[in-house]
Amino acid sequence: MSDRSPLALPFPPAPAIPGATPHIARARYKAWDRCDLTFVMLDPGTTVAGVLTQSKCPSPEVEWCRAALTLGTARALVVNAGNSNAFTGNRGRAAVEAIAARTAAHLGCQPSDVFVASTGVIGVPLPIDKAEAGLDAAFAAAPCSWEDAAATIMTTDTFTKGATTTAVIGDRTVTLVGIVKGSGMIAPDMATMLGFIFTDAAVEPAFLQAALSAANAPSFSCITVDSDTSTSDTVLAFATGKAGNVALSDDDSVGADAFRAALADLCHQLAMLVVRDGEGATKLIEVRVTGADSDLSAHRIAKSIANSPLVKTAIAGEDANWGRVVMAVGKAGEPAERDKLAIRFGDTQVAEGGLAVTGYDEAPVTAHLKGKEIEVGVDLGLGEGRATVWTCDLTHGYISINADYRS
């Protein structure tokens, strides 16, 4: 495992969520002596929503969850770390079905109430015997903390990632806890590698899905580590209803806005943690595009900048190389007029009107680039479209992790 990311944050104090009880166990999917199977037991009445990868080559877990989400109810989440089970044909599908069947038998529920996610190497069928033995151990294990669960879903992650928040719904305060993993193969296309959110709020599935999709768009869908979209990206939100609020069902429900805001805040926190643990990351980069032809156009331009190896290496080198930002705007294929373009690093405008700002003060730019949180601002000068995307720098660490690793 690599050194802890210099951008790491401590795991926050995370309260229990009534009705959602995590357990962990050793399935030993790899030759390691760490917990690698997470089982979260969900009480009857739990609703679920999810966003899943748009990859055309999804894992069988993703296909399973997509089908199960249509029912809107959940009794368990099982997460395997060390093996993504993606691209494994019938044997991979059989492994997911076996996990769901064994868990359903244990809980006395339908297999479709069991949600399964796996992360790790692609192309190796998940061994059913190890999964079943691991499940049995998890069923027998004492409940664990959310931080233990966050540690158990990690692969090349260097720190445990979680967030928590609350919302007031009528006379009840509901709690939300989320855990997430990330690191590499991160350019979520509707979701991130693996993220799980638990709340004791009572929420109808359709409303939960709408709120999650809305929260996902400006968070997980706006981060990129390496432009590589995983086959297994999954974000699931589970609502146990134990808080006893009147169930949220539509926009007019009491507390609907507060819950949506809390979920959006949680997703943003979790997404930032994924970028902070980007493989080899030493700097968190916020790319803010304004003045574009449309919000979608702004998003594409921001992604073009955030995915540019030349921009990411320049920031790794603490080099105010705004010419590479110009290049990335130019290649995005979106409406842009060179002579209306303005670029800033931090609060310092470095280029505008199609050329460098004459004699801009380099000191604050240099100071900004030496920090750990970098902001690149681009104004297109065309319209009202805006978007923000987060990424990390591209360093020797990324090469070491990915070129020196053997599958």
Residues tagged in the binding site annotation: 155, 181, 192, 279, 402, 407
The question of whether 192 is a catalytic residue gets the answer yes
What three-state secondary structure class fits 273? helix
Q: Determine the Cα–Cα distance for residues 40 and 355; give it in Å rounded to an integer.
A: 56
Name the DSSP class of 10: P
Find the shortest distance in angstroms from Cβ 348 to a second copy. Answer: 15
Query: Could you tell me the CA-to-CA distances from 72 to 77, 160, 169, 179, 206 in Å, in that order?
Result: 14, 28, 21, 21, 8
| Identity of the residue, 65 or 336, whose beta carbon is nearer to a second copy in the bound complex | 336
| Identity of the residue, 231 or 253, whose beta carbon is nearer to a second copy in the bound complex | 231
Q: Counting Cβ atoms within 10 Å, is residue 263 exposed (0-12), middle (13-18) or buried (19+)?
A: buried
| Identity of the residue, 32 or 405, whose beta carbon is nearer to a second copy in the bound complex | 405
Query: Could you tell me the CA-to-CA distances from 294 to 240, 337, 381, 398 in Å, in that order?
Result: 38, 14, 12, 33
**Which tokens go with 161?**
């990632």
Find the shortest distance in angstroms from Cβ 325 to a second copy. Answer: 9
Residues 6+ apart with CB under 8 A from 91: 125
Give, to the nearest 10 degrees, the angle between helix 309-316 and helix 322-331.
Answer: 160
Residues 6+ apart with CB under 8 A from 265: 165
Q: Determine the Cα–Cα distance for residues 337 and 333; give it in Å rounded to an integer.
A: 12
| Identity of the residue, 316 or 387, whose beta carbon is nearer to a second copy in the bound complex | 316
Helix then strand then coil, % of the chain, to nearest 5 = 35, 25, 40
Find the shortest distance in angstroms from Cβ 71 to a second copy. Answer: 24
Active-site residue identified among 53, 175, 192, 395: 192
Residue 52 · residue 62 · CB < 8 Å: yes
Q: Which of 297, 25, 16, 241 is nearest to 153 (CA)?
A: 25
- Binding-site annotation: residue ranges for substrate: 155, 181, 192, 279, 402, 407
| Identity of the residue, 9 or 121, whose beta carbon is nearer to a second copy in the bound complex | 121
Q: Determine the Cα–Cα distance for residues 314 and 196; give it in Å rounded to an integer.
A: 34
Q: Determine the Cα–Cα distance for residues 212 and 389; give it in Å rounded to an integer.
A: 18
| Identity of the residue, 77 or 131, whose beta carbon is nearer to a second copy in the bound complex | 131
Q: Which of 132, 104, 85 is nearest to 234 (CA)?
A: 85
Q: Which residue has the tokens 């009147």?
A: 246
| Identity of the residue, 174 or 305, whose beta carbon is nearer to a second copy in the bound complex | 305
| Residues labelled catalytic | 192
